[in-house]
A = this chain, B = another copy of it.
Amino acid sequence: MTFGIYYSDYLQLDKILNAQELESEKNGNVAHDEMLFIVTHQAYELWFKQVLYELAAVINVFKDPVIEDKKMGQVIHHLSRIKSIQRVLIQQIDIIETMTPLDFMEFRDLLVPASGFQSVQFKQIEIQLGIKREHRINADKEFFHSRLSASDYQALEELEGQKSLLELTDSWLGRMPFLKFNEFRFWEAYDQAVNKMLDSDSEIIRGNPTLSEREKEFQLNGLEMSRAQFESLLDREKFEELRKAGEFRLSHEGFLAALFINLYRDEPMLYTPFRYLTLLLDIDEMFTNWRQRHAMMVQRMLGAKIGTGGSSGHNYLNATTRQNRAFLDLFKLSTFLIPREDRPVLPDELRRGLGFFFHGENH
């Protein structure tokens, strides 16, 4: 036990609460809303620090080639916390939107060319999640060179060379041991199940007296497109081609393992991996939502003007909502799910392996 700790010393409030200097004040004419502008961005940066802290803990676990089961509980915990923080990041946009465009004009020009674009911590979050230079929109690719200080640039360059959570997750998925269990070859069984399902759907369409020929053709076409999608999923070479074209980022093994986990998530041993994948997807969705809100806020604030950093503002931000996404593959899994009842039945021995060993009477 330590004695004598004082609240404001512990939190270093002398730093935190004395870090707001208004450019408009230096310029001789305080713009009331500049304080809000500074404080809001500082609150963002504080939370970004916390997100990076949780992310580092997760990456640390996944760097290990063998992940202890008990660590997965902690991973879930870290990611859930990130999600909680993201809710606040989004909510904070409501605060910044209490600033009107006219109020923003009173100090906006004084900040040129500083820009949220230069938030190193936010770039670090993106890179560590899995958004690396090659995935970025063009405006973003260039930023490394022209807009950052040398040391900030260097910090990001180093991160680019390290494995992202996406890559580490891919490796972990690729190591899943379940899918070739003794004689059972899961994906062959899956292929059969898919074809059986599609054949049955096709038959139903053909035999439906309420459909016009044109409608039938339309629906049968849809089925064939579906069949083609499944084929490129289950054929490694076709998948690799699509991957090279940027359609997927996970490896073939990784993507299939993620699909398996989603299909059989009720098995006790797969439940935590399922939760893990769902949280990655949630985090991607929430950052996208935050980007969308941010883009809208900029449209509201600037109309067709350009942003403080000279970027085209609203359009730039809108483009990032579509492209700067780390876990888009996980959204694509849904394309390849089949209904529960059509799934291949797992061999008993495998199913027992996915359960708990210690069966007390109440489990």
Contacts and interface: CB of A to CB of B under 8 A. Distances in A.
Interface of A: 1-8, 10-13, 15-21, 23, 27, 32, 35-36, 38-39, 41-43, 45-47, 49-50, 53, 57, 65-70, 72-74, 77, 80-81, 84-85, 87-88, 91-92, 94-95, 97-98, 100-102, 105-106, 109-121, 149, 152, 172, 175-178, 201, 204-205, 208, 210-211, 222, 226, 229, 262-263, 265-269, 271-272, 274, 278, 281, 285, 288-289, 292-293, 296, 299-306, 331-340, 352-358, 360-363
B6 A118 contact: yes
B19 A334 contact: no
Contacts of A352: 357
Residue from A57, A269, A352 whose CB has the most chain B CB atoms within 10 Å: A269
Given A331-B303, A353-B358, A271 B39 contact: no
Number of copies: 4
B45 A11 contact: yes
22 contacts: A1-B110, A6-B149, A12-B20, A13-B45, A16-B42, A36-B53, A39-B46, A39-B49, A66-B363, A72-B271, A87-B91, A101-B334, A105-B339, A175-B360, A177-B361, A222-B306, A229-B304, A268-B272, A281-B300, A288-B296, A300-B334, A301-B334
A221 B222 CA distance: 50
Contacts of A300: 281, 285, 331, 334
Contact of A362 (B16, B115, B176): B176
Contact of A1 (B100, B204, B362): B204
A303 B333 contact: yes
A270 to B, nearest CB: 9
A161 to B, nearest CB: 22
A176 B3 CA distance: 41
Contacts of A77: 98
Contacts of A117: 7
Contact of A265 (B73, B80, B176): B73
Nearest to A77: B98
B5 A12 contact: no
A258 to B, nearest CB: 12
Contacts of A355: 69-70, 357
Nearest to A26: B2
Residue from A112, A116, A226, A268 whose CB has the most chain B CB atoms within 10 Å: A268
Nearest to A291: B292
A237 to B, nearest CB: 20
Contacts of A358: 177, 269, 353-354
Contacts of A3: 112-113, 208, 210-211
B363 A102 contact: no
Top 6 nearest A-B pairs (CB, nearest first) are A177-B360, A303-B335, A303-B334, A175-B362, A353-B358, A7-B118
B32 A57 contact: yes
Contacts of A149: 6, 8
B36 A66 contact: no
